[in-house]
Amino acid sequence: MRFSRILGTGSSVPARVVTNAELCQKIDTSEEWIVERTGIRERRWIAEGSGIGSSDLGAEAGARALADAGIAAGQVSLVIAATLSPDYDFPGNGVLIQRKLGLKAPATIDVRQQCNGFLYGLSIADAFIRAGVHQHVLVVASEVQSTGLDVTDRGRDMTVIFADGAGAAVVGPSDDQAHAILSTHLHVDGTHAEDLWCEFPSSRHSPRLTKEILDEGRHYPRMNGRVVFKHAVSRMQEAVNEALDANGVTLADLTLLVPHQANLRIIHNVRDALKLPEAKVVTNIERYGNTTSASIPLALDECRKEGRLPAGSLVCLVAFGSGFTWGSALIRL
Ligand code: UT7
């Protein structure tokens, strides 16, 4: 039986730190509200006018993952790029990342799935490698959300949360389950598509964007925060248990849980419901905000670099977001 495993990770965030105090100067919010409701103290946004796109952050994270894995550009046969904030409507970020890294990759796949983009990408990489179709797959999740946020009082619920960043993993073959992606579990419930979405530009309208739509702010992302929050807490618990049950292990066997960094209160609710000790649940939302698809690989990379995930560690990844989509992965590193 053939398996896949994570061979290396990398990440990249913009240098510009945006504190809560800076946002308080621009919109009607407060340090107390942001910290109490979200746990976020600062986030990274690209420098205004810098022209940095999500493919740039993604390429940097990808290069670092390749170096970490010791895999040469010529060995990668598939690039999977996940983002909700691509540089262009088309072509997708996979094409741009392949070009920027000079990868001789014969194939690329672009994944949406928002906060679950990395998990969906990892699952596709795992399936291709186990099927023997690809040997080395680069999975990149990257976002530049700051240029698409409504930095006015109207958009304050979204603007204080979302941020820019990228994370990547090189996935390759493994001979045994001692170092392998043990299982991935993906879910969707499209009845909630409009509870967290960005409506415009839209191919349902001609032209796809008008001055009226811009004036109404309907090109900005919008969220039914309370509904998303409630579902996130339930679905993430379920997905963790699903991954553990599928592999006959328990929470006590876990080295770390790496949850999508959506909101610190969501993470704490999931942690408390599962009765996991604080030390086993990874959080970095305080410093990076919600980087959507990038949040899991960014946190995973930090944990590996900090020595919190030595070889043989059992790690569970779990995410929930727009769609709704959610899922988990159980990995023996
Ligand atoms: O990553 C993808 C998945 N995303 C998530 O999982 C996010 C899920 N949702 C959330 O994290 C939370 O719902 C939010 C952080 C977005 C909002 O927190 P909340 O505790 O659910 O607040 P709320 O939406 O119920 O709003 C409470 C109050 C409202 O005022 P009133 O109507 O009570 O007077 C809002 O207008 O907080 C107000 N509010 C703000 N106040 C200060 C909303 N945003 C802000 C703000 N600063 N930035």
| pLDDT of res. 32 | 98
What's the confidence (pLDDT) of residue 99?
96
pLDDT band for 181, please (50, 70, 90 cuts).
Answer: very high
What integer pLDDT is reported at residue 77 of this predicted model?
A: 96
Q: Which atom of ligand 1 is nearest to the CA of 162?
A: 1
> φ, ψ for residue 171 (rounded to 5)?
-115, 130
At residue 96's C-alpha, the angle toward residues 171 and 48, to 5°, is: 110
Same domain, 185 and 326: yes
pLDDT-based confidence at 152, cuts 50/70/90? Answer: very high
Are 112 and 144 in the same domain?
yes
Considering the chain, what percentage of its residues have pLDDT values greater than 70?
100
Question: Of 98, 39, 8, which Cα lies nearest the Cα of 287?
Answer: 39
Nearest partner of 139 among 69, 187, 188, 201, judged by Cα? 69
Domain ranges, residue 258:
180-332
Helices (H) and strands (E) in the chain, counts: 11, 13
Q: What is the mean pLDDT of residues 233-240?
A: 98
Structurally, the chain folds into a number of domains equal to 2
Q: For this structure, is 260 an active site residue?
A: yes
Beta bridge partners of 11: 167
223 pLDDT band (50/70/90 cuts)? very high
The verdict on whether 290 is a catalytic residue reads: yes
- Report residue 105's pLDDT band, with 50, 70 and 90 as the boundaries: confident
Q: Examine the domain organization and report whether 222 and 80 are in the same domain.
A: no
Residues 145 and 193 in one domain: no
Rounded to the nearest integer, the mean pLDDT of the chain is 97
Domain limit, last residue, from 174, 193, 223: 174
Q: Is residue 92 over pLDDT 90?
A: yes
- CATH code (residue 325): 3.40.47.10
Tell whether omega for the bond before 201 is within 30 degrees of 0, i.e. cis.
yes
Task: Label residue 227 by pLDDT band (50, 70, 90).
Answer: very high
Smallest CA separation from ligand 1 atom 17, residue: 225
Q: Are residues 272 and 246 in the same domain?
A: yes
Q: Are residues 258 and 286 in the same domain?
A: yes
Q: What is the pLDDT confidence band of residue 119, given thresholds at 50, 70 and 90? A: very high
210 pLDDT band, cuts 50/70/90, is very high
Are 163 and 189 in the same domain?
A: no
End position of a domain, from candidates 112, 139, 174: 174
Q: Is the pLDDT at 120 greater than 80, yes or no?
A: yes
CA of 36 to the centre of ligand 1 (A): 11
For residue 322, the ligand 1 atom closest to its alpha carbon is 2
Beta bridge partners of 40: none
DSSP letter at 262?
S
| Whether 32 and 99 share a structural domain | yes
Q: Which long-range contacts (CB under 8 A, 24 or more apart) does 17-26 make?
A: 17/42, 17/43, 17/44, 18/42, 18/43, 18/44, 18/45, 18/146, 18/163, 20/160, 23/151, 23/159, 23/160, 26/151, 26/152
Point out the domain boundary residue: 174, 200, 218.
174
Q: Are residues 257 and 294 in the same domain?
A: yes
Average pLDDT over residues 263-289: 98
Work out the pLDDT band at 104, boundaries 50, 70, 90: confident
What pLDDT is attached to residue 140? 98
Under 8 Å between Cβ of 8 and 172: no
Q: At what angle do helices 225-246 and 264-274 cross, to 10 degrees?
A: 40
* 260 in Cβ contact with 320 (< 8 Å): yes
Out of 134, 136, 231, 260, the active site residue is 260
Average pLDDT over residues 229-234: 98
Contact yes or no for 197/222 (Cβ under 8 A):
yes
316 and 233 assigned to the same domain: yes
Cβ neighbors of 309 (< 8 A, separation 6 or more) are 255, 256, 300, 303, 315, 333
CA-wise closest residue to 76 among 127, 137, 121, 141: 137
Which pLDDT score, from 0 to 100, does residue 66 have?
Answer: 98
pLDDT reading at 106 higher than 90: no
Residue 293 and residue 113 in contact, taking contact as beta carbons nearer than 8 Å: yes
Question: Under a CB-based contact definition with an 8 Å cutoff, are residues 262 and 231 in contact?
Answer: no
Q: For a ligand 1 pocket test, name from 36, 156, 157 the mutation site with the most ligand atoms within 8 angstroms of its C-beta.
A: 157
Res 1 pLDDT > 80? no
Q: Do 204 and 242 fall into the same domain?
A: yes
Residue tagged active-site, from 20, 263, 269, 290: 290
Interval 291-297 mean pLDDT = 98
Start-to-end CA distance of the chain, whole Å, equals 18
Same domain assignment for residues 23 and 166: yes
263 Cβ closer than 6 Å to some ligand 1 atom: yes
pLDDT tops 80 at residue 94: yes
Q: Which amino acid is at 56?
A: D
Answer yes or no: are the C-beta atoms of 224 and 283 closer than 8 Å: no
Average pLDDT estimate for 260-268: 98
